[in-house]
């Protein structure tokens, strides 16, 4: 029997970031599923892929391999899930336009995830997963993580470095832990 190749999906990254955003809070798969508007079976499959990829510890309940996650986000995400700014739409600010970065990076261009309930017009950035805009409205910490990742996916060198430092604070230094 041939071993099956495992591929990380954008949903896996979204679930991983949701777990990070919860910090030390206890959670169940159903909680993740409901908050991201996905099925519990999708969460279960994703957790298995994350363990196989060493982003979660393979032999534990749920232990985040924080150094691995940070390395993947810094060096791999922009190649696996590339993105380029698109047409002008209404949506939710992301990358350097999001509150987590917009005080430190001044720009006349806005980047947004297309979303009918969004309040900002800007160049569209396709989110990692279709439920990202809604999930981000309900979870400020998840929103920050996703916006920082978009800064790495589409930003210039300065934006990428600033986003990386902020991700490091949140992922490695446990800024989201209670």
The residue segments making up the domain with residue 164 are: 88-171
Q: Which residues contact 62 (CB under 8 A, 6 or more apart)?
A: 19, 47, 56
Domain finish residue from 56, 80, 104: 80
Number of structural domains in the chain: 2
What's residue 42's pLDDT?
Answer: 95
DSSP, res 4: P
User: What are the residues whose beta carbons fall under 8 Å from the beta carbon of 63, sequence distance 6 or more?
Assistant: 56, 57
Percent of the chain with pLDDT over 90: 79
Please give the C-alpha separations between residue 81 and each of 42, 102, 125, 152, in angstroms, as whole numbers: 19, 23, 12, 11
Percent of the chain, pLDDT > 70? 96
What is the tens place of the pLDDT at every residue in 130-150? 999 999 998 999 999 999 999
Q: What confidence tens digit (pLDDT) does each residue in 156-167 have?
A: 999 999 999 999
The answer to whether residue 177 sits within a structural domain is no
**What's 54's domain CATH number?**
1.10.10
The candidate with the shortest Cα–Cα distance to 166, out of 117, 122, 118, 105, is: 105
pLDDT band at 105 (very low <50, low <70, confident <90, very high): confident
Q: End of a domain among 60, 80, 100?
A: 80
Domain shared by 48 and 104, yes or no = no
Q: pLDDT class for 41, splitting at 50, 70, 90?
A: very high
Question: Are 28 and 60 in a shared domain?
Answer: yes
In a domain, 147, yes or no: yes
> What is the rounded CA–CA span in Å between residue 23 and residue 4?
32
Q: Residues 164, 95: one domain? A: yes
pLDDT of residue 152: 96
């Amino acid at each position: 029997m041939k071993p099956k190749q495992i591929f990380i999906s954008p949903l896996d990254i979204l679930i991983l970031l949701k777990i990070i955003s919860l910090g030390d809070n206890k959670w169940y798969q159903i909680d993740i599923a409901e908050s991201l508007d996905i099925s519990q079976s999708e969460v279960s499959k994703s957790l298995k892929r994350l363990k196989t990829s060493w982003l979660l510890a393979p032999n534990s309940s749920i232990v985040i391999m924080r150094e691995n996650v940070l390395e993947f986000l810094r060096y791999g995400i922009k190649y696996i899930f590339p993105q380029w700014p698109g047409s002008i739409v209404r949506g939710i600010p992301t990358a350097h336009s999001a509150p987590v970065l917009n005080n430190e990076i001044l720009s006349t261009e806005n980047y947004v995830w297309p979303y009918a309930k969004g309040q900002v017009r800007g160049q569209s950035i396709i989110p990692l997963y279709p439920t990202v805009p809604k999930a981000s409205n309900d979870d400020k910490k998840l929103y920050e993580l996703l916006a920082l990742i978009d800064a790495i996916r589409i930003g210039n060198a300065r934006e990428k470095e600033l986003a990386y430092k902020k991700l490091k604070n949140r992922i490695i230094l446990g800024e989201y832990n209670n």
